[in-house]
């Protein structure tokens, strides 16, 4: 009788007791035990915190958000397109200087860029004399057409950045070309750096003039607008400065061989 009553109470006891206990199963013939309920591990979500590495922090710190202003919105203040053209002209002039003045190869065109100052004005050398190449180390300028400009041409050749020492024979000017030595190559590299520094100075002047023009409109537009335009001009300056550095690196590699 008692076993029968316990058997009836078994479901109630099973629900009220923790699952870790063994609850006896009572039957009329024998006592057996219920298997222990195993607690299955529960997969918890991964809340591991991802920390930024030093490399990623440095990269984020070095990046500057680019500003791109609609030119139509600021055309009454300044023409950003004209500012860009002025900066592009500086870069183009540098490339021209590099090609004309910094070459380790001799050719008649190597003297074309030299400007001669006469009493009648300034003229390119190739307009006053006929330039020819007698050998890789000797150029000749025939001044038969303008003998009165002999002195001016000789002076211009000596004062050029090419390290020339012209020799005069009648109306003929012989121009020995320095041998391409390691020292000569290094001197050309120094000259290339001078040209690039002058170009950067010209860029800064364009930038300063542009910002001065923008600030004249500070009473007509908001400070935020002025700031954005100045930032756009600075980004243009940085971009062209980087181009100058690239040109210098390429020319240096070429000159040093």
pLDDT of residue 68: 62
d(CA 145, CA 128): 7
pLDDT of residue 13: 52
Listed in order, the ranges of the chain carrying CATH 1.10.132.20 are 71-103+181-256
pLDDT of residue 40: 47
Q: Which fold has domain 71-103+181-256?
A: Topoisomerase I; Chain A, domain 4 (1.10.132)
Q: What would the pLDDT profile of 33-45 be if each residue is shown by its tens digit? A: 444 444 444 444 4
pLDDT of residue 188: 85
Listed in order, the ranges of the chain carrying CATH 3.30.1360.40 are 108-176
DSSP assignment of 78-127, as one string?
Answer: --HHHHHHHHHHHHHHHHHHHHHH--SS--GGGGTT-EEEETTEEEEHHH
Taken in order 129, 131, 134, 139, the sign of the CA dihedral is positive
The predicted model gives 209-218 an average pLDDT of: 90
pLDDT of residue 88: 97
Say if CB 233 and CB 83 are below 8 A apart: yes
Per-range mean pLDDT, top range of 8-12, 50-54, 151-155? 151-155
Q: Does the structure show a pLDDT above 80 at 166?
A: yes
Q: Does the structure show a pLDDT above 50 at 22?
A: no
DSSP state of 197: H
pLDDT higher at 253 or 44: 253
Say if CB 247 and CB 98 are below 8 A apart: yes
Say if CB 83 and CB 210 are below 8 A apart: yes
pLDDT higher at 21 or 140: 140
pLDDT higher at 233 or 59: 233
pLDDT higher at 242 or 30: 242
20 — pLDDT class (breaks 50, 70, 90): very low
pLDDT of residue 159: 86
Count the Cβ atoms, other than its own, within 10 Å of residue 230.
16
Residue 248 falls in which region: left (phi positive, over 0), alpha (psi -120 to 50) or beta: alpha
Going by CATH, does the domain composed of 108-176 fall within 3.30.420.40?
no
49 — pLDDT class (breaks 50, 70, 90): very low
pLDDT of residue 73: 63
Where would I find the H helices in the chain?
2-16, 54-62, 71-74, 80-101, 125-128, 150-159, 182-215, 223-256
Tokens at residue 165, please?
A: 């020492």
Instruction: Quote the percentage of the chain above a pLDDT of 90.
Output: 39
Q: What would the pLDDT profile of 86-113 be if each residue is shown by its tens digit? A: 999 999 999 988 887 777 666 667 787 7
Average pLDDT, the chain: 78
């Amino acid at each position: 009788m008692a076993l029968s009553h316990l058997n009836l109470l078994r479901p109630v006891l099973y629900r009220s007791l923790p699952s870790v206990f063994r609850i006896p199963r009572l039957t009329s013939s024998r006592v057996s035990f219920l298997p222990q309920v195993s607690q299955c591990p529960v997969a918890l979500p991964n809340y591991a915190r991802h920390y930024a590495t030093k490399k990623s922090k440095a990269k984020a710190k070095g990046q500057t958000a680019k500003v791109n202003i609609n030119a139509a919105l600021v055309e009454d203040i300044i023409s950003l397109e004209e500012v860009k053209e002025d900066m592009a002209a500086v870069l183009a002039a540098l490339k021209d200087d590099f090609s004309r003045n910094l070459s380790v190869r001799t050719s008649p065109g190597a003297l074309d860029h030299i400007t001669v100052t006469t009493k009648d004005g300034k003229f390119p050398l190739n307009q006053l004399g006929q330039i020819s190449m007698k050998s890789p180390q000797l150029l000749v300028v025939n001044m038969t057409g303008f003998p009165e400009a002999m002195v001016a041409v000789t002076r211009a050749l000596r004062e050029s950045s090419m390290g020339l020492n012209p020799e005069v024979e009648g109306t003929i000017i012989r121009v020995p070309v320095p041998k391409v030595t390691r020292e000569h190559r290094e001197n050309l590299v120094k000259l290339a750096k001078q040209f690039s520094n002058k170009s950067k100075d010209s860029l800064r002047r364009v930038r300063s003039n542009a910002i001065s023009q923008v600030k004249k409109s500070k009473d007509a537009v908001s400070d935020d607008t002025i700031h954005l335009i100045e930032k756009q001009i600075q980004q243009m300056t940085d971009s062209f400065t980087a181009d100058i550095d690239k040109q210098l690196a390429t020319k240096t590699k070429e000159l040093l061989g």
